[in-house]
Structure 1
Amino acid sequence: MSIKQTVLNPSIKRLIEDGFEIEIRRQHLLVHSIPYLNQSREIKLATLVCPFVDNGEIDTPPQDHTMYFKGEHPYDGMGKEMSQVVNSENKSILFDDFNADYYLSNKPNGQPFNNFYDKVVHYHTLFVSQARVINPNADGRTGVVHGQRDERSVFCYPDTASSRVGITAITQKLEESRIGIVGVGGTGSFILDLIAKTPVQEIHLFDADSFETHNAFRAPGAASLDQLQALPKKVEYFRKMYSVMREGIFSHDYFLDEHNIHELNECTFVFVAVDNGMARRIITDHLVKEGIPFIDVGMGVEIANGVEGDPQLRGTCRVTLATDALNSHLPSRLNLEDDDEDAIYRSNIQVADLNALNAALAVIRWKQFMGFYLDQFNAHNLNLVIPFQSLTRDDCPKE
């Protein structure tokens, strides 16, 4: 039997060679056509599923001894429920509208599995031994070969974080997004860091500035001195950084204005992280006109006298969402006026932890908008006040 060259894991190779119907989809291992008996003692075919951690040619152990079961409730050859195998009914969508029906839990002699081959063979034996009471030739090793890799993934290696905790189906809500990030300075670069780890289809970075020393101290990761001395464009620096993890990152090393603002039209959502009022006006006016939802972020940090005149920093982190449901609040929330650039440079205090916090609030709010996180308020403006450690919610669309 021919095995696809993309199959490197020794357990998977061995299972295919044995004739099991193996499929790897969305960081899950699927084993199709497993014979079992239903309540009427009829032979049916089930699919066994569990999260799959792929590490190339290294035979990694499963995360635990459990599996999901897609099929009717299994019974033994005497017509009794297989309660020693079925832990509970579990009607859950794992990915791609693929639903499981039951949750299985059974250890051989109470010991964990060392590899996926042993795990699959163990569960196959439990079910096929009962099916052979009715048909001695029942066998899940059909020899049918399935594709072994999901070519739709944008990642260079599997996102096992989602599959391990069973949130792959929820994460898929983000897949079709084409994200624009306008400004990849302090907050914008942290937005990129978080968005890059989601399965969005495309990420477009817009910024004309170079990556300089002061940027290195309020951006994710660590830049080398050689990288800083090369003065790369911000967008290209970050594109290279995150391209080792994923595909679909595009750099645009220029500012957006009236002549090229249309380049945002292909985006399904935009993060605006600029510190110029007129630029913000051009961008946000266009997005509202085109009906493209977006989040504008902002920080206001200043030096203040603390206890006994000790100088300390105080300020706020703002996240403002604009959608078709509500965008009339923008003039009262955003600075849309022309600015004194020298004054901005002198007073624009930014600290990496606040940049990261502002970005995290923005990405969380986007994930709520996308249905990833539960949203009970639908607030279109959030303000985190640093001295009070308080978060205020405003601008909730009326029913």
Structure 2
Amino acid sequence: MKFPAPPPAKIAIVVVAAGRGSRAGDGAPKQYRQVAGLTVLAHSLNALGRAAPDAIIAPVIHADDFDLYSEAIAGLDPAARGQLTAPVWGGATRQDSVRAGLEALAADPTNRPNIVLIHDAARIFASETLIMRAIEAAREYGAAIPGIAVTDTIKEIDVEACIAATPPRARLRAVQTPQAFDFSLILDAHRKAAAAGAADLTDDAAIAEWAGHRVFVFKGDADNMKITSAEDLAAAEGRLIRDLADIRTGQGYDVHAFGAGDHIWLGGVEMSHDHGLVGHSDADVLSHAVTDALLGALADGDIGSHFPPSDPQWRGAASKIFLAAAAARVRARGGMIAHIDATVVCERPKIGPHRDAIRASLAAIVGVSLDRVAVKATTSERLGFTGREEGIAAFAIATVRLPL
């Protein structure tokens, strides 16, 4: 008798991103640091989404980091964003945070998985091959972790820093994430460890071992590095940029006439003025120029082809919508925005006092660090329509990096 194949296992990935990352140096927690145009967390979530497109992804974050998290996921591939559950608040320790993520999945019948992978946000290079090995190992063994062979000789030392033992390298493995489990097995192990006050277990494999389960070690991936220090951040950015070898430049130009009003928008910043700018949207001439520069670098039409002025839905719209959409198209191609250089041409208002705010606004809209955005201003020496104060012009050049 031929039996039907069992239904595919429902997979969830708990992404632990609640730590403070103090070893990465001063600044935001390492998972929110920029690396090659995106945050570490965004890179990690994108990689997991590509490797396991049918999985549910449950991020566990610090309760103080919701704004940082919201900014980070704005830079995600749309498909990966669609896999996310609502963020779960982490606890005081990694163990507490993982348990919070597991409990959130258990409490939601629609998301409760058969198999769960538990992954550190600081590992941004998880490959499809590694994720598939993890899922298969969890399905076969119930509890499994990736490990790579140790090439250095390891010494155990005593309290006086003298060698106490030399373990044989052949039996040693450096452990990575994602660690993979039958969901009910690891949830039960976490609950028992919490109830018993076993709080010094350093990873989920240790929790499964403590609960009496054998844990299989499957082949890890040497490229699956963990970002811990500032040096790791630099190394990760170097790896990402090397993979983006198709370097392109696009230019953008826009102009809007002055009309009635008491303010204008430039680069997403509202500025008081004795006139407004006339346009179908909010007439943010600078954002329009940058949008066209990004689309030009992609050879992907212009702002009018994506957001036609004949469409009433864009009447009065904030131009940051157009700019964010152009930036998302770069990311959807697997690329990054390397630099934006823009120039505003007008006699008034004076741009200098607002320059830093405009740079910060553009950087936030397109999802890059501030040092990747330059804004300059000049007059036309009273020549032409800008010299007669009839309007404002803006020029922009965008450099993007795409995979070959």
The TM-score bracket by the shorter chain reads under 0.3
Larger RCO (CA within 8 A; separation ≥ 6): 2
State TM-score, norm by structure 2: 0.27
Q: Which has the higher helix share?
A: 2
State TM-score, norm by structure 1: 0.27
